[in-house]
Amino acid sequence: MRKSKSLLLSLIVAAGLTTLMGANVFADSSLKELTVNGKTDSGDSTVVNLSPSFSEDVTDYEATVKNSVKKLDINAVATESSADVKVSWDTLDEGDNKTYVEVTDSNGQKTTYTIKTKRLTTDEEETYKEDTNTKKDSGIKVTVNKTELTISSKIKKSDIPEGFEESTFTYNKKEVPCIVGKVKQLTAVYMTNEEEGIAGFYIYNEKKDTFYPMRNILIKSRMYTVVRPEKRDSCLKNYTKKRITIYDQEVSAWELDSEEKLYLVYAMNWDGDINLYCYDDQEKVFQRYIATNDVNTQLEAANTSYGKLQDKYNSIVDRYNILVKAIAGLIILIVILIFAVLNLILSNKTKKIKKSKDEETNNFGINVEGQDDDVKSDDSENEENPETTDSDDTTEETHEKTEEDEIEEAISEVNEDLKLAVAMETGIFDDTDEQNEDNDTDNGINIVEETNEIEENENNILMENEKDIQTENDMKDSTGKSDDDDEDFVFVD
């Protein structure tokens, strides 16, 4: 329950603060429109011209009316719709009079507009007519914003705004009074509409042959305090700092444009806000300067953004280069592995071929040694039987020579085949680095075919040797039998 009450109280306070803040923000005690008409005893109404022309920033005006005007009819419209407008002392006596228009806004702030009105006496009125020659219509009528206005033939000097002077110009083949700017290239005429209570200057556009109302704005006087902020905007480093005189005060400022006499200064406004202001030394005015819109600030931001983008691009390029190098290294490694595997396969195959050749050679050597042992045993038998050997010396020598020649020829053929195989294998490995993978494969196939041919030749040789050895053994057997027969024959004798 207590929490609910606290929450309700907080909401009420917040609503009150919001209302108060809204009132503070939108409160205005000025007038946006002020027109004056004079009322006579008979009820007639005449336009009363104010001097100077009405402006919401101007609070003091002057006016002169005829003796017949006894009261002022004031139409005052406040800028704030909820503001209260009060008119006092609107009845006129002969001579000087003061009429007050008091505006009170929703915050209670008041602004008072004062109209000093001189009501002429009968004698003064006659003199006034002669001296002032009251304005008369020129008879030239102009339509402006769907309202018919009449150009006045006379302009009071008190109505001429600052910076203008009286002159004349030709309009619709008639010469009419006007005002022209001393510096400004503007021409304006004074026009009225008594029925609607309109009176004032209208600017003439000669090219379009049109008129539009002249609105002269008087800026309120404000006070600025030059300060030194804790942090300065970065754009100031691009401008030259110097001492200048603003009105009668010498201050530090940054030169924005020397030719146009524009300077940047830090100042606190009447609300206590610190801003960077552009001071125009020619027109003596201040204007807030948005640092983020400064060209140098935008250029600096663009350079920073470009630098970040460049760094990001370089990072991407570096990653791409690393990836390319890694892929290239992987490809090279794969190629090396392929060559290594092929080399290993060929090497193993060559070793097998060599091993098979060595085994065949060793087997062939064992057979030869066995044949030598048989020959030696036969020689020993012949030594034991010299009588039989003598009779067959010529035949045995011829037979032994023939067998030795055949053995040597067989051995030489095997050696030549082995040399040829080794030479071919050596040539293949020497050319491995120079030939591509297809040539290596073809050479490996040739090696296998040649090796098969060598094996067939060796087998044929071995078979022939075996046949020769068998023949020799048969011959020895036959020889042995003949020797036995001889021995028997001898012993019988």
Given this model, what pLDDT does residue 180 score?
93
**pTM for this predicted structure:** 0.32
Q: 3-state secondary structure string, the chain?
A: CHHHHHHHHHHHHHHHHHHHHHHHHHCCCCEEEEEEEEEECCCCEEEECCECCCCCCCCEEEEEECCCEEEEEEEEEECCCCCEEEEECCECCCEEEEEEEEEECCCCCEEEEEEEEEECCHHHHHHHHHHHCCCCEEEEEEEECCEEEEEECCCCHHHCCCCEEEEEEEECCEEEEEEEECCCCCEEEEEEECCCCEEEEEEEECCCCEEEECCCCCCCCCCCEECCCCCCCHHHHHCEEEEEEECCEEEEEEEEECCCCEEEEEEECCCCCEEEEEEECCCCEEEECCHHHCHHHHHHHHHHHHHHHHHHHHHHHHHHHHHHHHHHHHHHHHHHHHHHHHHHHHHHHHHHHHHHHHHHHHHHHHHHHHHHHHHHHHHHHHHHCHHHHHHCHHHHHHHHHHHHHHHHHHHHHHHHHHHHHHHHHHHHHHCCCCCCHHHHHHHHHHHHHHHHHHHHHHHHHHHHHHHHHHHHHHHHHHHHHHHHHHHHHHHHC
For residue range 24-82, what is the model confidence (pLDDT) as tens digits? 445 788 998 898 989 888 778 788 888 888 888 889 999 999 888 999 999 999 988 88
Cα radius of gyration rounded to whole Å, the chain: 67
Instruction: Using pLDDT thresholds of 50, 70 and 90, give the confidence band for residue 431.
Output: very low
Residue 427 above 70 pLDDT? no
- pLDDT interval class at 254 (50, 70, 90): very high
Q: Give per-residue pLDDT as tens, 294-342.
A: 555 556 666 777 777 888 888 898 888 999 989 999 999 999 999 888 8
The more confidently predicted of residues 291 and 77 is: 77
What are the backbone dihedrals phi and psi of residue 264, each rounded to the nearest 5 degrees, phi first? -110, 130
pLDDT recorded at residue 87 = 93
Residue 220 has pLDDT above 80, yes or no: no
169-202 residue pLDDT tens: 989 888 889 999 888 789 999 999 988 888 999 9
**pLDDT, tens only, 352-363:** 888 887 777 776
Q: Dump pLDDT digits (tens) for 127-175.
A: 775 444 444 555 788 999 889 999 998 888 888 888 899 999 989 888 8
9 band by pLDDT with thresholds 50, 70 and 90: low
